[in-house]
Structure 1
Amino acid sequence: MIHVNAVTSGAGTVEYLTQDNYYTSDQALDSSEWLGKGAAALGLSGSVDKDMFAAVIEGKLPDGSEIQGKDGVRRFGDELHFSVSKSVSLLALVGGDKRLIEAFTESAKVALKWAEKNVVEARVWDKELGTAVPERTGNLLVASFLHDVNRNLEPHLHIHAVGINATQTADGKWRAVHNPEFYRAQHAMSAVHNSEMRARVEALGYETVPAREAVDGAFEIRGVSREVIEAFSTRRAEVVAEAAKDGRSSARELELAALATRKGKEMDPDIAGQKERWQETAKRVGFDHKPLIDKALARSSAEQTVWTRLVAGIRGIGAKGMAIASAIGLTPKDKDPLVPERLGRLEPKAFAAAQAVASAARELGEREAAFSRNDLIRHSLERQGPFTVEAIEARIEQLQQRGLLIGSGPADRDRMLTTQQAVAMENKVVALALAGKDSVEPIAERDGVVARLQEQARAIGLRRLNQGQEKAGADILTSRDRIHLVQGGAGVGKSAALAPVAAIAREEGRNVVALSHVGRIAREFGEKTAAPASTVDGFLARYARVLGGSASAERVAEAREELSGALVMVDEASQIGTDRLARLIDLANQMHVGRLVLAGDIKQLPAIEAGKPFAQLQGQDLGRSDIAENLRAQTPQMQALNRALGDGDIDQAFKELKAATTEVAPGEIPKTAANIWVDLPKDQRDSTVLLAAGRAMRSAGNAEAQKALAARGELGANSIRLDVLDRVTITREGARQLKGYHEGRVVAFQTNLPSQKFQRGERGEVVDVSDGKVELHMGDGELRTLDPSRLPANLKHDAVTIFERKSIGLHEQDRIRWTAKDGERGLLNGDIAHVERIDGGKVTIKAGDGKLHELPQGDSMLERLDLAYAINVHVAQGMTAKDGIIMMSERERALNSTASFLVAVTRIAEHATLVTDNPDRVQRQVETRTGEKTSAMDVSQAKTKSPDHYPGFKEDLQKLSDKLGPEYAMAVLQNRERDITLEKPASRSGISRSQDELARDRERDLERARDLERGR
């Protein structure tokens, strides 16, 4: 595992890392080393000299060069903290197998060399653009220190690799490192290190298994039990417990918890006594390391590994490759477009690498049509086969040369990749849409259509349609094209504009259908338009056989009667991915639908699945209507916020929010927001929504709101404790790996698996994960084994759904939402309801329509609900609230995007409040990450262009530069879609930030992690 952190104190880091190194040797400097091509260029090698380390970390290099800071402030560098699994540390330090220490140090060097080639950059002046741009330099200056215990003096091999803030550019000059790439590539570097380390451990004769949390390919050595690992992991338990106090669990949050709970360093440790205590602990938990080490030594002497033993006795290259693929949980598919070679053409290990890349591309491709080269490398290595990064990169390059993977630039600098199939699917959507040009009759004549629209609006009880709504309605009714797009921001009244259109279509004898991506929005859309409603998935399922060509002639005739000439309207169309929209348009063409209206907003949250087809179709020769006038914003504050967001001016939006922003300490956001909400008068509270970007903040907000209401006596006396199911987000390809199956999770089967003896509707709880298999405790008490690698790979739906159990207390009067649907009772996923009564194990729920539903103990819907005082922005898209309290934390940087912020703000009609732990940093995160998707065609069309010189790049740069300053503007354009936070942004006025501002930011960080200034 690798964590990257900024070095915040040069002197403190020097003192900390050059002190005694506990047990590995008498002095830390004996376990230190200069690494990197940058060090070689400066003549630095061997052990790290303390004085030289102190000089270079201050930017003073041996050749006389000096790295200057900006505005009197300079970065010292970035620390790459390498660590190994606990089982490796135990066998090396308790068991005494020193070979593992060498394997660790050598694998770290490989990872650093990979970073040199693929990550490290400096900024050099570009005369054409008039600003500095990144240059890949290929050299690092690293001071590396090996340590071997944690703060609790437990075995813990780790390396502090301090990347000095200096790299040599092509012109021979030494410049500061442009470090955002380090943070973006952190997981890829970690996967490179883990795969290299695992290969070396296996070469030493050990067998490995995926770690309990197999992030980035983390592994353990087989034979070291979980009980043993936990006995030597009290430090880990302390960190997790500290983080859990605030409901934190991300890697960054665990880092901060580690810093907050860190003990002072023992300056004169009792080495002999500590080693005796390790042996006592090993004896207590039954850890006998000698047989494991002896077996490993014997295997390595015979040059045996787990992989050579696996294929021993198997004849044929193809059969050996299949055996290895099966062992790492991969099921090769016939005619896999990313593995076109005939079985037996690739050597077994090369075959396994090819299958790993294909599997990783499928997994990434379910969510994004285009993905980064580093993400593909990381996910491929997570398959944990007999390959390292060298084999994976060779395979990626081979697929690019064949045109099966398409990149946005030269192979060694690709930022984005896509597949031939993704490009073909996006082209298919466009072709299907264009096939409907001039192919249908108008629904109504143009003469008098505007008057009819306004008349119908009055009849329905709507306000007079504005110019944009009026034009959109007329365009839809009079067009001869099958596909019509309606683009409009949040709150402009798109669905209201479609209501009179639907009424006129019915007058003209047309069937009308209302669709959306989720049931709640579809139902509300249907109510507004007085049309039968369905989700897009439900609609496609109804006509699946017709679309697939397997329906009977009678069923096809019935479908054509229902759909021919019909008006089919889709709300929130931006949230529909490429595959689903392709099928919807294909069905519309086949069944001669009279009009397919796609209404949405390209600035709001896109589809969860791959693609952004609604945005792509807006660039084609298709009918499109724009509705611009905001009808939702009712106050000067909200009108100003909507104007700023409409102009893409995030800076101005945060200025408008400043007076309504409450800044709190880390971890206090949910409690503060809940108290603000509870303090409102009840009628105002009922019309105010608590909004969160992610599920962790949402859950914490719900718990705090419930606690505050209970303290005020506003909840009923009766309560019940429920174990509810919280869905784990995982792709279909990801479900075929082991990483989603943790002990205690629930696996529900969505399809029949006769070969594994599972039926649709069954479910079981995970009790063990080992040897590539998952042991499930089924509802009937039987233990059954699931092989995830054998799950179908070609389904359009999930073969299994994985849930995490979550315990919640439910009180009378609590507000809840459903997390699944019950069609028979009319309960839809996302619907809000209230707890009317709790009587023993029976819960009576009052639904949004006023109906009462009694849910006895054991009712399946008692597992599929959650508190609903706070909701996340994905659920909120499409809804309206009078007032809103937005919860945003700098800790959730991957969730803080322009799109999610826009959706949160634009839900609100009258007053918005922001509660945050760092408004400046949250703003920078929102500015940096747009939340937009990259399409396959974007990558394909950019393959011959520099990613920094796309059409309109200069105009974008100038626009941002006027507001933010050129350096930060360039960084924003180049780092959008990256999970990073830029360290030195411009001030809000466009002038470089002062030393005082930078110092305040640094002080804030130091407060959060008390002794961060001493380094790790």
Structure 2
Amino acid sequence: MVCSIGRLYAKVEDYTQSDSYYIKGGGINQSEWYGKGATQLELSGTVKPEDYHKAYKGLDPEGKALRQQQAGKKQNPGRDITLSAPKSVALIGLVKGDRQVLLEHKAAVRTAMDYVERNCIFTRTGKGGKQRDQTDNALFAIFHHDDNRNQDPQVHSHCIAFNQTAGADGKWRSMDNRELYQQKMTIGTIYHHELGRRLKALGYELEWNRDGTFEIAGYTQQQLEVFSTRRSEIVAAVGMDASAEVKAQACTTTRKNKTYKTAEERESLEVTWQQRAEAAGIEHPQPKLRQNLEESYHHSSHPGSTAELLRSAIEVKCDRAVAFHRHALLKETLIQSQGNYSLEEIERAIDREPNLLKTKDGRMTTAQAVRRETDILQKAQVRKGGDRALATAQAAQEKAREFGLNAAQERALSHFATNQDAVMLCQGDAGVGKTYTLKALHEIVPDDRSVRGLAPSAAAAEVLQQDAGIPCQTLDAYLMSPRQSLLQNELIVVDEAGMVSSRQMQALLERLQQTNSRAILIGDTKQLSAVQAGSPFKLLQQQAGLPIVQIDLNVRQQNPQLKETVDLLAAGKIEPGYQQLQQQGNIKQIPIDSKRFQVAVNDYLTRDGKTRAKTLILVGTNAEKQIVTAQVRLGLLARGQLGVETQEITVLKRKDLSSFAIAQANNYEPGNVVKFHQDSTKFSRDLFYRVDRVDAKTQSVILRDKYGSTQTLELSKYKQREVFQAETREIRAGEQMKFTRNQYKQNQVNGQRFTVIELKDHGQIIVQTKGKTQTLKPDALLHCDYIYADTVHSSQGKTADRCIYVASSGNSPTVGRESFYVAASRARQEFIVYTASAKDLGLSVQQSRGQENALPLVVSHPSQSKSQPVASPSQPISSSIEPQPPLQDSQILVPSPTREQEFQLLVQSKYLVEEKGERNPQNSQEKIYKSADGTEIKLSGDRLRIKQGGAELEFGRDNATVKNTFSWQQMQEQIQARTAEAKQLIGLNRSRDRGRGISR
């Protein structure tokens, strides 16, 4: 784990036992005070035990209390923020012996702690501590370590954030730690990105991972694992597929006691590391400064400006949510930057991005999201009251009696028949008979009006077609159809409208206008929303001004107690509904994950076959689904309910890659399968292509088709594609499975169930689906999987007699008000819940996890009244905001030179003087480079000096700044000038190399 946050040790010796050079031998660089709080308390240099113990107790160096000490209450001394370097960094720095790498680690740690101090340090003030104030003041004690308890090289730093911070009023108070935990992943990404950026500047080539971590190129995974014995112990204890929570527990239970090493033992340990490296055949990679600089200019993994980089990150964040925290956007931007831009540059780009808008709760959304939602509202109101009715009220009443509709269903049918709007809205709770009502409607629609049904999934579309008799397809298939192929004047019925995203809704309403069609949107805003961003069905109900007809009489639950519970959940009375389930004994608490799954599966297996066939097992995640599936299959096999003969088939599991990730080589590996959505001169959409080789340097892959032909795919091109992981599945006679993709040529629909009847010779498989028997070849089952368990999300729209719900533990995003309502409302007779903590689950299910809309979140300008219309799509979003007066000279802050500027200028200047500098005839160890603008760069041993006019910048050992008299503006001019010179020099070098026949 890159960043972890936990409790700290009471004794400073616990942070030094494994680092003998802290107590013995000086070791001033192995611990340090840091932060504004340390400066304020005049704490600097090495951390002394007596100072640490005072800070631990909330005292200043004089022994005076800094924060309130409550008698009898256990004190919270602070938090230990641990940042860990990649294993390859430990090998370079400790085994190979490049100590500069260790210094860059420390610098990256400080950069991360600077961010923590600026963004994560809060305190509570006001009556009852209800107000949270940001202080920008932290007291850190940092301990830099270089091994773990298994005596493996492991570079990491413990950053102790003591529980005291000084506010703007100068008073010291306790910290509020919530922001630390919320931004933990961002803090880790900042550290990793800064470290990677610095290592690139040193000349090391990096291999970036999907999560923003990296390894130094040149080591194999097997070589890294030679020095990763702790990881091997944890995997041996809990297995490779264990959850992060279980692995974290195993990390504590399996670790050895700390050992204290003498200086001699320390030297012996380093010799042992070198011997192990030699035995593993490790050849350490060498830095290549010139080559690395050239590639950074000509082969950047993300070329362009920080603005372009940020727009790409915003696109990724907006794909799944209309609003996001600034730190989440920062994290995604850093992941995409891959060390090409500094934290300062990226934060500046975020703060200047005009497309970003602040929300009322302090998050961010985009002007594009606001415009899209505004467009949706306007399109929904077009032709309001301008269409002719579908039927008379009398015809609707007669059909309602014929179908035996209840009052709520009849009211809805009458509304559909007589309403004259282009868009009609129906809010229907779970299990109220919405589809049955649509069947009645279909029979009174006049013959000259074509009816088309749409649903988010193929399975839901098939159910609507079978139960309502309406020809159906998926919403995406309709939206991708050529405009000329669509009928005019249709009635479009959209089922599960609550699962439609904002992008889809905008496109749908556009199609309605193009074809002069009408739409009935029917769904439930209380159930799960779309995976993609936005909740337009809710937006239309709240702001479109259209009448909403409700169907709210529950007809699904046949168990009176369960019906009462589901009705409470539907009414938003989550706590009473949950308490009712508890009182009935239907919430079963089993804290240990493995045991909870085992008990739930046994509950399922001990039921008779007929009951099992009408029982759903629901889980939160696909990983949990795999655990349940494996245990159910073992149980069925032990009971002789699966065949003895086996056959392995290959299935394709789609990789969930963002628009950025799909263009990154680190997300591909040999054996992956690529499928293109469109034909091109190089690739056919009818073929599958297997990845033969991945080239991270050129960001390309070699693809091979079934005929053996190969093609090179530049990952930045042909991005309308999907990437699959090829996996194997063991199948036996009796297996319950489903298709996972629409394959219309083979009459396969996503979600369609089938049973394996028999395994024949030559790999043929006999299956039964939709009451018919088919003989299939293995390649017809590329898109299928077991169906012994469902995720809650995929279960929406399904019904079963009984339901067993294994709720995710912890604060999982898969557990919330909407998912719990969906899970509970699937069952007719029985709903059983297995959870790690009944109390925690009871709190989680009261939180909404549904998609949001941007419009209600945007902070309105004070001059804008609630009745004013929002900006139109053609009107810039900024037009509704009054321009602010320009800043006066006294209000403009002139920034001081930053360490970031110094570091950029150092890298460029060192390259120039090393490549083009001339030897000083009076000192052969000194090189001097003189620029046309009068700048002189002098390199002498570890010291680098840059002079222009009367300004001077000097670096000493370890690239530390000794002196800087340049202004911020002068630094910017220097960076631009030296960068331009470096680019020109690189171009000359490359031309010269080509002339000599040298390739780079």
The residue aligned with 1:600 is: 523
Q: 1:10 to 1:282 in 2, by over 3 A?
A: closer
**Counterpart selection for 2:292 from 299, 302, 306:** 306
**Counterpart selection for 2:422 from 472, 482, 494:** 482
The residue aligned with 2:344 is: 390
What amino acid is the match of 1:178?
A: D
The residue aligned with 2:91 is: 90
CA contact (8 A) 1:203 1:305 kept: no
For residues 286-301 of structure 1, what are the structure 2 equivalents within 5 Å?
A: 286-289=281-284, 292-293=285-286, 295-296=287-288, 299=289
Mean alpha-carbon deviation: is it higher for 872-881 or for 832-841? 832-841
- Consecutive unaligned residues of structure 1, counting only runs of 5 or more, are 312-322, 331-350, 458-463, 793-798, 947-1016
**Counterpart selection for 1:327 from 300, 306, 311:** 300
Is 1:497 the equivalent of 2:492? no
Q: Give the deviation of 1:178 after TM superposition.
A: 2.1
What amino acid is the match of 2:307?
A: A
The residue aligned with 1:133 is: 131
Deviation track 1:646-702 (CA, whole Å, cap 9, x = no partner) reads 343443343233312233312333222111100112222111100011100011111
For residues 70 and 417 of structure 1, what CA distance do their matches in structure 2 show?
A: 42
Is 1:832 the equivalent of 2:753? yes
Is 1:255 the equivalent of 2:254? no
Deviation track 1:548-596 (CA, whole Å, cap 9, x = no partner) reads xxx4xxx5xxx4xx341x3211111111111211121111222122x30
Q: 1:63 to 1:784 in 2, by over 3 A?
A: farther
- Consecutive unaligned residues of structure 2, counting only runs of 5 or more, are 865-1000
The residue aligned with 1:627 is: 551
**Counterpart selection for 2:499 from 570, 575, 591:** 575
CA contact (8 A) 2:736 2:756 kept: yes
CA contact (8 A) 1:775 1:783 kept: yes
Deviation track 1:697-725 (CA, whole Å, cap 9, x = no partner) reads 01111111111111111222222223322
Q: Scaled by the length of structure 1, what TM-score is found?
A: 0.79
For residues 216 and 318 of structure 2, what CA distance do their matches in structure 1 show?
A: 32
Q: Give the deviation of 1:308 after TM superposition.
A: 4.9
Mean alpha-carbon deviation: is it higher for 479-488 or for 799-808? 799-808
For residues 353 and 231 of structure 1, what CA distance do their matches in structure 2 show?
A: 39
The residue aligned with 1:675 is: 602
CA contact (8 A) 1:502 1:512 kept: yes
Q: Give the deviation of 1:398 after TM superposition.
A: 1.6
Q: 1:214 to 1:590 in 2, by over 3 A?
A: closer
The residue aligned with 1:536 is: 475
Q: 1:779 to 1:144 in 2, by over 3 A?
A: farther
Is 1:472 the equivalent of 2:465? no
CA contact (8 A) 2:19 2:261 kept: no
The residue aligned with 1:408 is: 359
Q: Give the deviation of 1:244 after TM superposition.
A: 2.8
What amino acid is the match of 2:458?
A: G
For residues 28 and 839 of structure 1, what CA distance do their matches in structure 2 show?
A: 75
Q: Give the deviation of 1:900 after TM superposition.
A: 1.9
Q: 1:154 to 1:569 in 2, by over 3 A?
A: same
* SS at 1:610 equivalent: coil
Mean alpha-carbon deviation: is it higher for 18-27 or for 905-914? 18-27
The residue aligned with 1:617 is: 540
For residues 831 and 603 of structure 2, what CA distance do their matches in structure 1 show?
A: 12
The residue aligned with 2:587 is: 661
* SS at 2:600 equivalent: helix
The residue aligned with 1:950 is: none
Q: 1:614 to 1:678 in 2, by over 3 A?
A: same
**How many residues are treated as equivalent by the alignment?**
853
Q: 1:714 to 1:167 in 2, by over 3 A?
A: same
For residues 608 and 42 of structure 2, what CA distance do their matches in structure 1 show?
A: 71
* SS at 2:176 equivalent: coil
Deviation track 1:45-75 (CA, whole Å, cap 9, x = no partner) reads 3222334434433445554133456993454
Q: 1:147 to 1:865 in 2, by over 3 A?
A: same
Q: 1:222 to 1:492 in 2, by over 3 A?
A: same
The residue aligned with 2:514 is: 590
For residues 800 and 629 of structure 1, what CA distance do their matches in structure 2 show?
A: 44
For residues 81 and 470 of structure 2, what CA distance do their matches in structure 1 show?
A: 58
What amino acid is the match of 1:475?
A: H
For residues 235-246 of structure 1, what are the structure 2 equivalents within 5 Å?
A: 235-244=230-239
Q: 1:582 to 1:940 in 2, by over 3 A?
A: same
The residue aligned with 1:803 is: 724
CA contact (8 A) 1:84 1:158 kept: yes
**Counterpart selection for 1:223 from 196, 218, 234:** 218
For residues 171-182 of structure 1, what are the structure 2 equivalents within 5 Å?
A: 171-182=169-180
What amino acid is the match of 1:818?
A: F
The residue aligned with 2:637 is: 710
CA contact (8 A) 1:408 1:942 kept: no
Is 1:380 the equivalent of 2:328? no
* SS at 2:445 equivalent: helix
**Relative CO higher for 1 or 2, CA cutoff 8 Å, sep ≥ 6?**
1
The residue aligned with 2:18 is: 20
What amino acid is the match of 1:355?
A: E
The residue aligned with 1:1006 is: none
The residue aligned with 2:937 is: none
What amino acid is the match of 1:598?
A: L
**Counterpart selection for 2:616 from 680, 689, 696:** 689
Q: Give the deviation of 1:26 after TM superposition.
A: 4.3
Q: 1:784 to 1:605 in 2, by over 3 A?
A: same
What amino acid is the match of 2:224?
A: I
* SS at 2:130 equivalent: strand
**Counterpart selection for 1:451 from 357, 375, 397:** 397
Deviation track 1:307-350 (CA, whole Å, cap 9, x = no partner) reads 45644xxxxxxxxxxx4xx52145xxxxxxxxxxxxxxxxxxxx
Q: Give the deviation of 1:228 after TM superposition.
A: 2.9
* SS at 1:505 equivalent: coil
For residues 488 and 513 of structure 1, what CA distance do their matches in structure 2 show?
A: 20
CA contact (8 A) 1:42 1:63 kept: no
The residue aligned with 1:460 is: none
CA contact (8 A) 1:406 1:939 kept: no
Q: Give the deviation of 1:441 after TM superposition.
A: 0.5
The residue aligned with 2:659 is: 732
What amino acid is the match of 2:149?
A: R
Mean alpha-carbon deviation: is it higher for 151-160 or for 935-944? 935-944
Deviation track 1:574-633 (CA, whole Å, cap 9, x = no partner) reads 11111211121111222122x301111112211112221111111211131122222222
The residue aligned with 1:768 is: 694
For residues 423 and 377 of structure 1, what CA distance do their matches in structure 2 show?
A: 21
Is 1:868 the equivalent of 2:787? yes
CA contact (8 A) 1:513 1:568 kept: yes
CA contact (8 A) 1:473 1:497 kept: yes
Deviation track 1:73-117 (CA, whole Å, cap 9, x = no partner) reads 454433211011122111110111111111111111111111121
Q: Give the deviation of 1:941 after TM superposition.
A: 4.2
CA contact (8 A) 1:748 1:764 kept: no
Is 1:371 the equivalent of 2:335? no
Q: 1:60 to 1:649 in 2, by over 3 A?
A: farther
Mean alpha-carbon deviation: is it higher for 879-888 or for 163-172? 163-172
CA contact (8 A) 2:321 2:532 kept: yes
Is 1:859 the equivalent of 2:832? no
What amino acid is the match of 1:133?
A: Q
For residues 563 and 527 of structure 1, what CA distance do their matches in structure 2 show?
A: 24
Q: Give the deviation of 1:444 after TM superposition.
A: 1.2
The residue aligned with 2:851 is: 933
* SS at 1:228 equivalent: helix
For residues 820 and 71 of structure 2, what CA distance do their matches in structure 1 show?
A: 31
What's the Cα RMSD here? Answer: 2.8
What amino acid is the match of 1:511?
A: S
Is 1:36 the equivalent of 2:35? yes
Q: 1:16 to 1:909 in 2, by over 3 A?
A: farther
What amino acid is the match of 1:4?
A: S
Q: Give the deviation of 1:16 after TM superposition.
A: 2.8
What amino acid is the match of 2:267?
A: A
The residue aligned with 2:44 is: 45
CA contact (8 A) 2:760 2:766 kept: no
**Counterpart selection for 1:878 from 788, 792, 797:** 797
Deviation track 1:733-775 (CA, whole Å, cap 9, x = no partner) reads 4312334324543322222343x65655332136435212234
Q: Give the deviation of 1:480 after TM superposition.
A: 1.0
For residues 907 and 228 of structure 1, what CA distance do their matches in structure 2 show?
A: 50
